[in-house]
Structure 1
Amino acid sequence: MTIAPVAVIGGGLAGITTAIALAEAGCPVTLYEARPRLGGATYSFQRGGLTVDNGQHVFLRCCTAYRGLLERLGGTALVGLQNRFDVRVLGKAGRSGRLRRAALPGPLHFVPALAGYRLLGPGDRIQALRGSLALSRLDPADPALDSVTFGNWLAAHGQRTPVREALWDLLAVAALNTGVEEAALGPAVKVFKTALLGRPDAADLGIPLVPLGELHDTAARAAIAGRGGTVRLSAKVTAIEPGPAVIVDGARINASAVVVATRHEQAAKLVPAAAAPGRDAWSALDASPIINVHALYDRPVMRLPFVAVTGSPVQWVFDKTRVAGLGEGQYLAVSVSVADTWIDRPTADIRESFVPALRSVFPAAREARMTDFFVTRERRATFRQAPGSGVLRPRSATRWPGLYLAGAWTDTGWPDTMEGAVRSGLHAARLAKGHMRQQESRS
């Protein structure tokens, strides 16, 4: 008897992970992606002979599920991972600080970094240490933390504005795509406790050394096909029916199980109400945008591979020269999270603000000639991780046997990150495999 493949809908990291895990287990699987590529919100495109990533994506050493996916993609050598967390932070008026963990057991490994953080005065450094200790005592799984903002908690624990701007907001905005005044306390605790206050090496930063499309599209397609799975690109799934079955480009295709690994807005439209009566709650998960400002110069203007910036519209800056294939000059990508202010602004307006901001951050840019400037936008980059969002995140299983959800927006225990997406895909694959075993035992 021929076994119908598992249908995985959506070719982002959650769908890729699901398909690979099922194929590795010997399950027939077909991944359907409406776009002509895999990768979801992590992709590359061509511009003027360069390979451009839509945005800068980083991971941490504690992102064990994502690192496991990289191994399956054959991409371990295609990323760089710090030996020790080390971030240079540029402030106003030419001031700078450095956050570098010490070779001490956690959470003591960050005490010297905070104690010597020159963007904060001595009193604020002490308050930052006290805040870190208080944060380490919280449980990110405590549902009460979903109703409190991180900003209110920081204020209640003596974290003044300078500490928030130069430390907490600097890191929270990048990790959560939500500012401290709006972010729910639970996801913030998860990030800081796991990455900065846990294992000493947990926060070591990892950055792709090749275009995202090479990792999450080309390598992902090869990994799925190499394990016996099938990838169908430009294939739009418009409905899910009992059976289960999927309607793909107007044709009904039976499936052993279905995993919906799309964005939450799309999933709410695809999944039948009978399978998930609470699907309207997913639509209530608001979205938070990210823009990336791409600035090319005729000469190098930044010496480090990346820096963080405070007190400026510039947030994090990455040197993309080699990854993009630029032969001369320097290519900087500025990642701007919580980009509500910028997402609808014309590129000319963004340029008017960011060109002088970059000159202020990098004095060498004042003498350099800008050879190109453009902006990439992700209007719905993540869901907005504000108070009340935690209870809206669904579990993977639905009321229909054989129909499951995957995506960083599901209840993974992690914020909306690449790690959360991969974990959701692994969990959905386990559920789908269990369903298939049950069906086989009954036949």
Structure 2
Amino acid sequence: MQKRVIVVGGGLAGLAASVAIADAGIPVLLLESRPRLGGRASSFVDQTTGELIDNCQHVAMGCCTNLHDFCNRLGLTDLLRTEPSLTFIGPEGQQSRFAAGPLPAPLHLTGAFARLGFLTWGEKLSLAGALKALACDHSAANRSFADWLREHNQSERLMERFWSVVLVSALSETLDRIDVAYARKVFVDGFMTHRDGWTVQIPQSPLDELYGSRVTRWLRERGGEVRLQAGVAELVAEEGGPVRMVRLRSGEEIPGDEFVLAVPCERVAAVAPEALRSHSVVTSLAEIEAAPISSVHLWFDREITELPHAVLVGRLSQWMFNRHRILGRTGDVESFEYQVVISASRMLAGESREDTISRVVGELSEIWPQVAQARLQHARIVTEHRAVFSVKPGTDSLRPVQQSPIPNLQFAGDWTQTGWPATMEGAVRSGYLAAENVLGRLDRPRQMLCDDLPCSRLSQWLLGLNTNGASGAQRPE
């Protein structure tokens, strides 16, 4: 008889698990408590403008091989655009184009780093030495990256103007709260192993279209079922035995054979089978801290820059996204939307909405004088207080593997052991790994996890990296 697989949670991890299992010919029942899929990668209607806007701008990198595989399976690649370059804007307003040159990795970005006009040549040489040391340092985990940087003679100015700019955006944490291993993951996999690892892909449509309607249609075409607003109260297991059903908040009970729990880590204890709630695998999740990300959405009556996006150095804001350009809107329009991202946004706590908006608009006007002539039609702030898990030293020891202590129950979420920080790639990897466990139990073994980008021979020789870059393995331990 066909076994019934139930996935609880419609974020990226749950979607990836569902897609991987369905792709193996096994229909899935996907339960999501909210009225939309995507989890933190979702959209909503702004009531003032009537526009569908994203809760936060999401981007991917070329090194996100499993996220790209997920999009390929679903036919979503037409909704992503690859950026050939980035623009860094220094504290004094100088613009620096960041793009790869013709040399192989890790030398492909030598010219890009050399063009960073807000750094001195002495700082660039110091930066190059630290990047090489980071690539070669395999034993610095469970330490603060800020401490590591100081030990490698990185000045406070260089930490503020380069290391913090990249890592706060990538990991949404300050340097003193970042484990060296996570910093190494970003720089080695993103910048040093492969020519395409650093490239940025940006969705050209609202996230609701990217991870909502198309995914639902794809799963239903393969015999699956997606139920929205189906909040799960708990998983029910036999005493000392397997999970046997899901109990919804409505009281409805749905029996199943295999289960994937893909909810945020802070929700696991409430939903997990009662016998599992006191297990150390679950209780340790309470020690995983969260980090916030805030997005400031601004609508002006004119375009303030033709740049589709920009990295802002030494400011409250880290990224500016020109939604008018990114979404490819043409013709006469009366409003131009910009999204400004502030990662690790704890400093905004207690500050009024008006003050934050004023600070952000003020920063933009320092860079683009035309902001002073533009009329701000509408503004709003969206803060995800638990946007990502905090990559503090020691966090990895709290992250469980996908196989729970109950054989027919898998965990999925970027908070599980994936070898990655809290990213869309990490979420998809967790879903694929959970799916592999389910398929193995159903005698349908299949490898879903994709290989990392291959490490160039020059990187292997110059930096002592192996064929799989920073992690050295395709699967987490």
Same fold (TM over 0.5): yes
Partners of 1:5 and 1:46 lie apart in 2 by 35
Deviation at 1:272, TM superposition (A): 3.2
Asked if residue 45 in structure 1 is aligned to residue 51 in structure 2, the reply is no
Deviation at 1:299, TM superposition (A): 0.8
Asked if residue 126 in structure 1 is aligned to residue 125 in structure 2, the reply is yes
Aligned to 2:375: 369
Instruction: Using the TM superposition, name which of 46-55 and 385-394 deviates more.
Output: 46-55
**CA deviation vs aligned residue, 1:363-413 (integer Å, no higher than 9, x gap):** 110111111111111110001111111111110111111101000010100
Asked if residue 190 in structure 1 is aligned to residue 185 in structure 2, the reply is yes
The equivalences for 1:220-231 within 5 A come to 220-231=215-226
Instruction: Using the TM superposition, name which of 13-22 and 321-330 deviates more.
Output: 321-330
Q: Which amino acid aligns with 1:156?
A: E
2:211 corresponds to which of 183, 194, 216 = 216
**CA deviation vs aligned residue, 1:7-53 (integer Å, no higher than 9, x gap):** 10100000011111111111131010000110000111122221211
Deviation at 1:273, TM superposition (A): 5.9
1:166 corresponds to which of 161, 165, 176 = 161
Partners of 1:16 and 1:366 lie apart in 2 by 44
3-state DSSP class of the match of 1:432?
helix
Report the RMSD for the aligned CA atoms in angstroms. Answer: 1.8
Give structure 1 regions of 4+ aligned residues with deviation exceeding 6 angstroms: none
The size of the alignment, in residue pairs, is 432
Partners of 2:4 and 2:159 lie apart in 1 by 50
Asked if residue 402 in structure 1 is aligned to residue 408 in structure 2, the reply is yes
User: TM-score, normalization: structure 1?
Assistant: 0.94
Aligned to 1:389: 395
Partners of 1:73 and 1:79 lie apart in 2 by 13
Aligned to 1:418: 424
Change (3 A) 1:344 1:430: farther
Aligned to 1:75: 76
User: TM-score, normalization: structure 2?
Assistant: 0.87
Deviation at 1:4, TM superposition (A): 4.2
Change (3 A) 1:285 1:401: same
Asked if residue 296 in structure 1 is aligned to residue 299 in structure 2, the reply is yes
Deviation at 1:346, TM superposition (A): 3.1
**CA deviation vs aligned residue, 1:197-239 (integer Å, no higher than 9, x gap):** 1101111100001111001111111121122111010001111
The equivalences for 1:298-317 within 5 A come to 298-317=301-320
Partners of 2:349 and 2:102 lie apart in 1 by 41
Instruction: Using the TM superposition, name which of 169-178 and 96-105 deviates more.
Output: 96-105
Deviation at 1:278, TM superposition (A): 2.3
Aligned to 1:113: 112
Partners of 2:134 and 2:100 lie apart in 1 by 18
Asked if residue 255 in structure 1 is aligned to residue 256 in structure 2, the reply is yes
Partners of 1:343 and 1:367 lie apart in 2 by 30
Deviation at 1:167, TM superposition (A): 1.4
Asked whether the equivalents of residues 4 and 254 of structure 1 are also in contact (C-alpha less than 8 Å), the reply is no
Asked whether the equivalents of residues 204 and 328 of structure 2 are also in contact (C-alpha less than 8 Å), the reply is no
Deviation at 1:325, TM superposition (A): 6.0
Deviation at 1:270, TM superposition (A): 1.7
Q: Which amino acid aligns with 2:36?
A: R
Deviation at 1:324, TM superposition (A): 9.2
**CA deviation vs aligned residue, 1:129-158 (integer Å, no higher than 9, x gap):** 11111111133xx5x50x201111111111
Q: Which amino acid aligns with 1:233?
A: L
Q: Percent identity, aligned pairs only?
A: 34
Aligned to 1:441: none
Aligned to 2:273: 272
3-state DSSP class of the match of 1:181?
helix
